[in-house]
Chain A
Amino acid sequence: MSHQPVAIVGIGQTHHKRKRADVSIAGLVREAAQRALEDANMDWGDIDAVVLGKAPDLFEGVMKPEMYLADALGAVNKPMFRVHTAGSVGGSTGIVGSHLVSSGRHKRVLSVAFEKQSEGNAQFALGGGKGASIGAGGAFAPFIRAYIRRSGAPEDIGWMVAVKDRLNGAKNPYAHLKLADITIDKVKESPMMWDPLHFLESCPSSDGACAVVFTDEDGGKAASKPPAWVLATAMKSEPGWYSGRDAVNPQAAHACAQEIYKTVGITNPREQIDCAELYVPFSWYEPMWLEAHEIAAPGEGWKMTQSGATALDGDFPVNMSGGVLSSNPIGASGLLRFAEAALQVRGLAEDHQVGGANLAIAQAYGANAQFFAMWAVGSSLNPLG
């Protein structure tokens, strides 16, 4: 299969908050999109196609928002695509945008993803509109309990992730939570939400949006700021529920990672990848995903957290942006991971920049840990030399 190279030349995001009372949904997505266009030194008219992603429509109660938002995002007389893959949708939205360029069909594509959680209630929506919703935390807590037992990880690993990601978030001007004074004690003393997950080990509920502008190779070379190059993309799915399924270690996660590493030529992810944005809505997903994406050996992921390897100044920084634990506009959360990886290899991540980042990965997952999206981005088309 031959693909055209794809460059990321514009990235924008909103200031994420519990409630963005100052904007409509259209205003929210436009805020992110306009920042991305400005970053790309482009205007609405320069865009050939628009891709929009968000999580279930029941979150805001606006059905098929792509219809209402087409003209708000400059898609009049242009193709507009709606993507939905649950929590991984932001990642998928970026990947679909990149494919519209890599296929040679379009030269400049805008991907936008959002959630305005304050307009509804995620627990209500995830519970299908009924009482006694277990929510995402309730769904994932058993997986985490199984991981802790099988890996033998000490209980403070989750607390460490919660602290580390919030300290990173405090360096990110767009993050919802900026908890610069968070401590291990504060995390473990916060209320138990979904045993073994404490309140401060859980993601917030946020309003926010993220946007990315993709161009072809010529556009990347002509860009006024350094571009990021999309080196590989992968999306994999598996059934959410079947008898005996091991949701701690989904096959789809492994398949995603293997495809990315093979495409880029990565043989030692821990050594060759400079940093990663992983979808960690609950603290323990950091070690779980390090293992399921083959960055750490089985049972060894928590040791990377414990040793400080995943801290901003570690040898394998994870969630430099503060991650989902610091901002969770659900539909946008995947694209925020993907965009942060690109910011890092562009060298534009400011206070949360990893020095010399040339190869970064980003990952998102969704539903019952069954939809996976992943990409690798580089400061050049061949960062491994």
Chain B
Amino acid sequence: MADTVQEFVFNLTFPFTRTLGSTLSTFSSALAQGQIIGVRTGGRVIAPPLEYDPDTAADSGSDWVRVGPKGTVSTWTWVPEPTNLHPLDHAFGFAFITLDGADTPMLHVVDAGSESAMAAGMRVEASFKAPADCVGRIDDIIAFVPATDPSPSEGAGEPFVAPEENDITEMDAYCDLTYVDNASPTTTMWAKALMEGRIIGQKCPQCERTIVGPRGMCSVCAIELDESHVIDVPDRGVVSNFTIVTPVQYHGQTETEPFVRCSILLDGANAVIAQQEILGITASEVRVGMHVECVWAPANERSVQDIDNRSRGSGGDAIIGWRLTGEPDEPAENYLNRMM
């Protein structure tokens, strides 16, 4: 059964937003109109513009300059097999391109067809999306392509007059990250026990603390704990403290109503299992001192896919929650301090 759980796959997504500030708002708003701009600061034109001179950190001001749409590749690398995270679905180059009218290079994509077409010094020009699809993101420029006419860009280096107010002041930055958590030997033992309907702890031979939701170590004594330190602990106990969370809504939130997470001091074990749900009562009815027992999912419905190496005490889908036993409450003051 050591291979019950090998790895957990998690997907982390979130719609972050960026406020752009005046400089990048000006750049984005112009880009959405098909115009690339830079800023003249410290005697040179930086494109795309920065809020500050990168050499001195001085404010770079608002002396805007039209740059491109053509430019010259100064250096490049080739991506022969793009992944789904790359900007193009076929082989392409990443290049530093110094746009006409600019003194600093920008990083962008060159869609040159083949690696042999790439060269330092090659002339390229921006290929924009259709105007209706341009939103002020850097990928409004689909790619730079070899320039059909290598002559200088018209109007490059001339002043750009920014509007009084920019159209674009914010940008979405959607995060989508999938990662794999390889189960530690201790997590594997924990998951295996849950699948069998058992709760285990590891007992430190030095301080005799029992850690439920074991970690493979004693945090206090800093000694390694292994299979030989595993003990079974009761699946009954007393609510020692709790929190009632009024859920705020965020991307990925699963809760809409106030919910409870309890610490439970397990009977006779001098050990606390934390972050547990109580079944059958409303959040406001939870009290310190209540006797509770574990409610296990039927053996054939148990799953531990949602636990990881850091979620100490998480019962995955093996533990549904805890229900009242009906015994009289214990005095709260005897339990409250066992938050952990």
A and B interact physically: yes
22 contacts between A and B (CB under 8 A): A19-B19, A22-B21, A24-B19, A24-B20, A24-B51, A26-B51, A26-B52, A30-B51, A44-B56, A72-B50, A73-B57, A74-B57, A76-B54, A76-B55, A129-B10, A134-B275, A135-B248, A137-B245, A139-B243, A149-B332, A192-B244, A239-B219
Chain B residues within an 8 Å CB radius of A128: 310
A72 nearest CB neighbor, chain B only? B52
Q: Mark A103-138, 1 if CB is under 8 A from B, else 0.
A: 000000000000010111101100011111111011
Check if A51 is an interface residue, CB within 8 A of chain B. no
In the complex, A302 Cα to B267 Cα: how many Å? 34
For window 13-51 of chain A, which residues contact chain B by CB distance below 8 Å? Answer: 19-27, 30, 44-45
Smallest CB separation, B60 vs chain A (Å): 11
Do residues A246 and B337 form an inter-chain contact, with CB atoms below 8 A?
yes
For window 161-187 of chain B, which residues contact chain A by CB distance below 8 Å? Answer: 169-170, 173, 175
Do residues A243 and B253 form an inter-chain contact, with CB atoms below 8 A?
no
Do residues A149 and B51 form an inter-chain contact, with CB atoms below 8 A?
no
Chain A residues within an 8 Å CB radius of B250: 121, 123-124, 133
In the complex, A169 Cα to B14 Cα: how many Å? 32
A129 nearest CB neighbor, chain B only? B12
Smallest CB separation, A46 vs chain B (Å): 11
Smallest CB separation, A28 vs chain B (Å): 8
Check if B302 is an interface residue, CB within 8 A of chain A. no
- Tell me whether chain A's interface is mostly helix, strand or loop, or mixed: loop
Check if A244 is an interface residue, CB within 8 A of chain B. yes
Chain A residues within an 8 Å CB radius of B255: 131-132
In the complex, A192 Cα to B247 Cα: how many Å? 11
Name A residues whose Cβ lies closer than 8 Å to a Cβ of B. Answer: 19-27, 30, 44-45, 60-61, 71-74, 76, 116, 118-121, 123-124, 128-135, 137-139, 141-143, 145-146, 149-150, 191-195, 239, 241-248
B275 nearest CB neighbor, chain A only? A134
Cross-interface CB contact of B340 among A30, A71, A244, cutoff 8 Å = A244
How many inter-chain contacts with C-beta < 8 Å in the A-B complex? 167
In the complex, A21 Cα to B25 Cα: how many Å? 11
Q: Mark B289-333, 1 if CB is under 8 A from A, else 0.
A: 000000000000000000000101000000000000000000011
B204 nearest CB neighbor, chain A only? A243
Chain A residues within an 8 Å CB radius of B210: 243
In the complex, A130 Cα to B10 Cα: how many Å? 9
Chain A residues within an 8 Å CB radius of B126: none
Cross-interface CB contact of B333 among A119, A149, A247, cutoff 8 Å = A149
- Listed residue (B173, B253, B263, B310) with the most chain A CB atoms within 10 angstroms of its CB: B253
- Listed residue (A124, A129, A134, A139) with the most chain B CB atoms within 10 angstroms of its CB: A129
Q: Given A132-B259, A142-B339, does the pair A241, B241 have CB atoms closer than 8 Å?
A: no
Do residues B18 and A119 form an inter-chain contact, with CB atoms below 8 A?
yes
Cross-interface CB contact of A71 among B52, B248, B312, cutoff 8 Å = B52
Q: Given A61-B16, A247-B340, does the pair A135, B245 have CB atoms closer than 8 Å?
A: yes
